[in-house]
Amino acid sequence: MKKILLFLSLIVLIVLVGCSNQAEGTQKENNKGSEEDNDDNFPEKPIEVIIPYPPGGNSDTTSRIIIDAASEYLPNEGRFDIINVEGGASSTGITKAAQSEPDGYTITQSTAGGIVTVPILNDVAYNLDDFDPITGAVTIPQMLVVRSDSPWQDFDEWLDYVKENPNDFQYANNGVGNVQHIQMETLEDAADIETTIIPFEGGAASAAAMIGGNADAVITFPGTLDPDETTPLLNFGNKRSEYFPDVPTMNELYDVGIDNFVGFFAPKGVPEDRLNIINDAIKQALEDEEVIEELDKFNYEVDYRGLDDFKEYVEENIEVQSVIGEGLDIEN
Quick one: pLDDT at residue 327? Answer: 64
- CA separation (Å) from 13 to 3, 38, 52, 157, 252? 15, 37, 65, 97, 85
Cross-strand partners of 83:
50
Average pLDDT over residues 87-114: 94
Closest CA to 183 of 253, 133, 135: 253
One-letter amino acid at 162 equals V
CATH of domain 143-254: 3.40.190.10
Q: Are 302 and 137 in contact (CB under 8 A)?
A: yes
- Give pLDDT tens digits for 220-241: 988 878 999 999 999 998 889 9
pTM comes to: 0.75
How far apart are the C-alpha atoms of 226 and 235, rounded to whole Å? 17
For CATH 3.40.190.150, list the domain ranges present in the chain: 47-139+260-326
Burial 228-267 (b: 16+ CB within 10 A, else e): eebbbbbbbbbebbebbeebebbbebeebbbbbbbbbbbb
Quick one: pLDDT at residue 39? Answer: 56
- Residue 30 makes CB contacts below 8 A (sequence gap 6+) with none
- 30 pLDDT tier (thresholds 50, 70, 90): very low
Quick one: pLDDT at residue 202? Answer: 75
Q: Which stretches within 245-299 are classed as H helix?
A: 250-254, 272-287, 289-297
Quick one: pLDDT at residue 22? Answer: 47
Q: What whole-number percentage of the chain has pLDDT above 70?
A: 86
Cross-strand partners of 230:
147
How far apart are the C-alpha atoms of 270 and 233, rounded to whole Å? 42
- Give pLDDT tens digits for 140-183: 889 999 999 999 999 999 999 999 999 999 999 877 777 888 89
DSSP notation for 98-134: HTS-SSSSEEEEEEHIIIIIHHHHS--S--GGGEEEE
Quick one: pLDDT at residue 36? Answer: 41
Cross-strand partners of 81:
48
Q: Give the number of C-alpha atoms closer than 13 A to the C-alpha of residue 8, restricted to the C-beta side.
A: 5
CATH superfamily of the domain spanning 47-139+260-326: Bordetella uptake gene, domain 1 (3.40.190.150)
What is the rounded end-to-end Cα distance, in angstroms, of the chain?
97
For CATH 3.40.190.10, list the domain ranges present in the chain: 143-254
Closest CA to 77 of 38, 41, 105, 34: 41
Q: Is 199 exposed, middle or buried (0-12, 13-18, 19+ CB in 10 A)?
A: middle
Quick one: pLDDT at residue 330? Answer: 56
Closest CA to 51 of 287, 265, 199: 265
- DSSP 8-class letter at 46: P
Mean pLDDT of the chain: 86
Please give the distance of CA 127 from its chain centroid, rounded to a whole number: 14
